[in-house]
């Protein structure tokens, strides 16, 4: 048979098969059979050079034409079939677009983390930097350098969890004061948020694991009025209003004078409830002017410099802000509680 005649036959067969093909896979197989490397058209085109000169242009032209024609047919059939895949899909897969959706579970930051970050921002805007220290601490940083020697009665206040090798889980973030003063020269302005631990029975206002934010400012001529000014500013930012504050004398071995700072209980508006132990006031933080012994032990001359320090209960602050009446909720893993923040 003449080559061009052969090509026409191939074209006819190909078009018929393409037309009646029923799946994309079938179309793909036809492409390989009619246009692939081992197809008749490909081998004719490849051997074009060995044909007699007179018929070469004609055979070349016809082969290319038929090739393009088959390609187009395959393309079109492919498109038709893929449209078919989608038509009637709603029936086949029974998608009910009126059915209510499934809500994705989305986590949020823990309320304590949220307030910690907020406080960090407020303090940083006042020129403080953030300092950190280890949760497993040496006796020296947790007690000794804070003017609490081995036999000091203040050690009884802080029921401590000791490690077997004689170290401890820090009972307060005050240890970071010492670590900071060892490293930096005055002027110093730092806050140190962190987790602390006490060997303690739990109830609505006591946990064995909780959070504090320690603050320390050391410079020339620092006095109690600097301390009060900073505290007022912070509390106004946190509560977005002026908050009633009460300073009582308080004893902490690492400050002199030392104070307890209370704010009026937000939960009961000062009327008395379980959280404020029916006093109307909530103890928020301990504070004072850094004891000269502490400055001296950390290599700062108390004749030249003075400073204030404070240690704030972060859990308490969050409880007051949101009216939470049980500190144990924070570590409960209770999603109904946590989802509210």
Which parts of this chain interact with ligand DAH (CB under 6 A)? 172, 174, 214, 252, 255, 258, 286-288, 309-311
Report how far apart, in Å, the C-alpha atoms of 302 and of each of 220, 232, 311 are.
10, 26, 21
Closer by beta carbon to ligand DAH, 255 or else 275? 255
Closer by beta carbon to ligand DAH, 112 or else 309? 309
Closer by beta carbon to ligand DAH, 193 or else 311? 311
Least distance between ligand DAH and beta carbon 287 (Å): 5
Which among 156, 199, 173 has a CA at the least distance from the CA of 309? 173
Least distance between ligand DAH and beta carbon 142 (Å): 10
Least distance between ligand DAH and beta carbon 186 (Å): 16
Instruction: Concatenate the DSSP letters of all residues of 201-219 into one string.
Output: --BTTB-SEEEEEEEEEEE
Least distance between ligand DAH and beta carbon 171 (Å): 6
* Three-point CA angle 222, 223, 226, nearest 5°: 85
Report how far apart, in Å, the C-alpha atoms of 320 and of each of 35, 74, 204, 229, 317 are.
78, 72, 13, 21, 5
Report DSSP state, residue 291.
P
Alpha-carbon distance of 95 to 67, in angstroms, equals 42
Closer by beta carbon to ligand DAH, 15 or else 196? 196
Least distance between ligand DAH and beta carbon 104 (Å): 41
Q: Which two tokens stand for residue 286?
A: 């301990």
Closer by beta carbon to ligand DAH, 33 or else 246? 246
Least distance between ligand DAH and beta carbon 138 (Å): 16
Least distance between ligand DAH and beta carbon 295 (Å): 13
Closer by beta carbon to ligand DAH, 21 or else 158? 158
Alpha-carbon torsion (216, 119, 168, 255), positive or negative: positive
Closer by beta carbon to ligand DAH, 34 or else 254? 254
| CB 3, CB 55: distance < 8 Å | yes
Least distance between ligand DAH and beta carbon 252 (Å): 4
Alpha-carbon distance of 281 to 226, in angstroms, equals 23
Radius of gyration, alpha carbons of the chain: 40
Query: Do the strands 281-290 and 306-313 form a parallel or antiparallel pair, or are they unpaired?
Result: antiparallel
Q: Which two tokens stand for residue 22?
A: 């029923």
Alpha-carbon distance of 262 to 338, in angstroms, equals 27
The strand pairing partners of 58, in sequence order, are none
Closer by beta carbon to ligand DAH, 111 or else 286? 286
Closer by beta carbon to ligand DAH, 74 or else 191? 191
Alpha-carbon distance of 60 to 49, in angstroms, equals 10
Least distance between ligand DAH and beta carbon 110 (Å): 21
């Amino acid at each position: 048979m003449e080559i061009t005649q052969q090509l026409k036959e191939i074209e006819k067969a190909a078009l018929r098969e393409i037309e009646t093909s029923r799946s994309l896979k079938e179309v793909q197989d036809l492409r390989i059979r009619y246009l692939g490397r081992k197809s008749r058209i490909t081998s004719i085109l490849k051997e074009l050079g060995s044909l007699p000169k007179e018929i070469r242009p004609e055979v070349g032209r016809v082969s290319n034409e038929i090739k393009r024609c088959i390609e187009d047919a395959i393309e079109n059939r492919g498109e038709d079939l893929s449209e078919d895949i989608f038509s009637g899909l709603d029936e086949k897969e029974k998608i009910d677009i009126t059915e209510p959706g499934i809500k994705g579970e989305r986590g949020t930051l823990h309320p304590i983390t949220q307030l910690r970050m907020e406080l960090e921002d407020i303090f940083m805007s006042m020129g403080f930097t953030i300092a950190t220290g280890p949760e497993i601490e040496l006796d020296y940083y947790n007690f000794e350098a804070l003017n609490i020697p081995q036999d000091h009665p203040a050690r009884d206040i802080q029921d401590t969890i000791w490690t077997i090798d004689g170290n401890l889980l820090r009972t307060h973030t005050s240890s970071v004061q010492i670590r900071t003063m060892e490293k930096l020269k005055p002027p110093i302005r730092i806050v140190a948020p962190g987790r602390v631990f006490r060997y303690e029975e739990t109830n609505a206002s006591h946990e064995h694991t909780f959070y504090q934010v320690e603050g320390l400012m050391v410079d020339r001529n620092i006095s109690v009025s600097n301390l009060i000014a900073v505290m007022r500013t912070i509390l106004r930012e946190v509560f977005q209003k002026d908050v009633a504050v009460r300073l009582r004398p308080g004893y902490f071995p690492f400050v002199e004078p030392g104070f307890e700072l209370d704010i009026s209980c937000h939960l009961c508006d000062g009327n008395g409830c379980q959280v404020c132990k029916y006093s109307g006031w909530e103890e928020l933080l301990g504070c004072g002017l850094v004891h000269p012994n502490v400055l001296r032990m950390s290599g700062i001359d108390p004749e030249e410099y003075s400073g204030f320090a404070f240690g704030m209960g972060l859990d308490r602050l969050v409880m007051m802000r949101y009216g939470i009446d049980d500190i144990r909720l924070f570590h409960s893993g209770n999603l109904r509680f946590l989802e509210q923040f």
